[in-house]
């Protein structure tokens, strides 16, 4: 039985998987949409309206996303693309500005860097074929069955990959793409909490 310590508590993989399944069981039909495809289409609209590539648009969205609600994330991405400035912390803002100077996806991914923002980028960029899981504050909360503390939100790479693997295992069991399971449970969690 695999275990991981998150915060000051030890969790088994089975316990985390069961929490994901519990949230999934509470889903509504409208929460089974392809959220990442919708996000991809939003990025396409940015390329049509502004002078940016799809990689740049998604890169900016991704680096500005930590701890930001989706609608605010979209507004801040537009603001940064249009003006070069936005209401974000300095590090993500600087990364976003650097991304706007790049066209090569590999280089953009090097700027993005972190596992959460990298996976978010890949899921939005490739919604039909990404096998990644965006382990954000909601995904962590879902596996814990409650809102995560600040300490629990600061995951090591090992903890991140452990939770990501839980989503992949449950997704395989349900015959879903991992990113689809994560987006369904994210939408459900936002509604029930």
pLDDT in tens, 94-137: 999 999 999 999 999 999 999 999 999 999 999 999 999 999 99
Backbone angles phi, psi at 161, to 5 degrees: -65, -30
Both tokens of 31, joined, read: 């929460």
For residue 9, give the 3-state DSSP assignment. strand
Question: Are residues 138 and 103 located together in one domain of the fold?
Answer: no
Q: Other C-beta atoms within 10 Å of 34: how many?
A: 16
Model pLDDT for residues 150-189, shown as the tens digit of each residue: 999 999 999 999 999 999 999 999 999 999 999 999 999 9
| pLDDT of amino acid 142 | 98
Whether residues 114 and 48 share a domain: the answer is: yes
Retrieve residue 93's tokens: 């803002």
What tokens appear for 139 in the block?
A: 């995904």
Give CA–CA dist 39/190, Å, rounded.
17
77 shares a domain with 147: no
| Residues 36/179, Cβ–Cβ less than 8 Å | yes
Domain boundary among 85, 108, 125: 125
48 with 95, same domain: the answer is yes
For the chain, the domain total comes to 2
Domain boundary among 109, 125, 141: 125
Sequence-distant (≥ 6) Cβ neighbours of residue 169 within 8 angstroms: 13, 17
DSSP structural state of residue 102: -
| Domain extent for 65 | 35-125
pLDDT digits (tens, 9 = 90+) for 35-48: 999 999 999 999 99
Residue 176's nearest CA partner among 34, 75, 8 is 34
Whether 114 and 41 share a structural domain: yes
Residues 58 and 121 in one domain: yes
Spatial distance between the Cα atoms of 182 and 171, rounded to a whole number of angstroms: 9
58 & 81 share domain:
yes
Identify whether residues 121 and 160 lie together within a single domain. Answer: no
The verdict on 41 and 118 lying in the same domain is yes
- pTM here is 0.95
- Same domain for 49 and 13, yes or no, is no
What's the chain's average pLDDT?
96
Same-domain check for residues 18 and 45: no
Environment class of residue 124 by beta-carbon count within 10 Å: exposed (0-12), middle (13-18) or buried (19+)? buried
The C-alpha angle with vertex 73 and arms to 60 and 174, in degrees rounded to 5, equals: 95
Q: Which of 73, 98, 125 is the last residue of a domain?
A: 125
* Residues 188, 160 share a domain: yes
Judge whether 31 and 68 are in contact, CB under 8 Å.
no
């Amino acid at each position: 039985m695999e275990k991981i310590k998150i915060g000051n508590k030890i969790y088994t993989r089975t316990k985390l998987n069961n929490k994901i399944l519990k949230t999934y069981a509470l889903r509504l039909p409208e929460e089974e949409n392809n959220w990442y495809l919708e996000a991809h289409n939003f990025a396409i609209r940015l390329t049509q309206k502004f002078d940016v590539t799809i990689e740049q648009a998604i890169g900016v969205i991704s680096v500005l996303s930590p701890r930001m609600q989706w609608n605010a994330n979209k507004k801040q991405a537009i603001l940064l693309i249009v003006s070069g400035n936005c209401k974000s912390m300095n590090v993500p803002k600087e990364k976003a500005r650097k991304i706007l100077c790049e066209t090569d996806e590999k280089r953009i991914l090097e700027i993005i860097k972190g596992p959460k923002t990298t996976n978010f980028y890949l899921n939005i960029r490739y919604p039909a074929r990404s096998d990644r899981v965006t382990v954000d504050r909601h995904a962590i909360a879902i596996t814990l069955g409650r809102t995560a503390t600040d300490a629990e939100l600061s995951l090591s790479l090992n903890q991140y990959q452990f939770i990501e693997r839980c989503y992949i295992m449950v997704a395989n069991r349900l015959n879903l793409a991992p990113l689809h399971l994560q987006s369904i449970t994210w939408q459900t969690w936002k509604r029930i909490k």
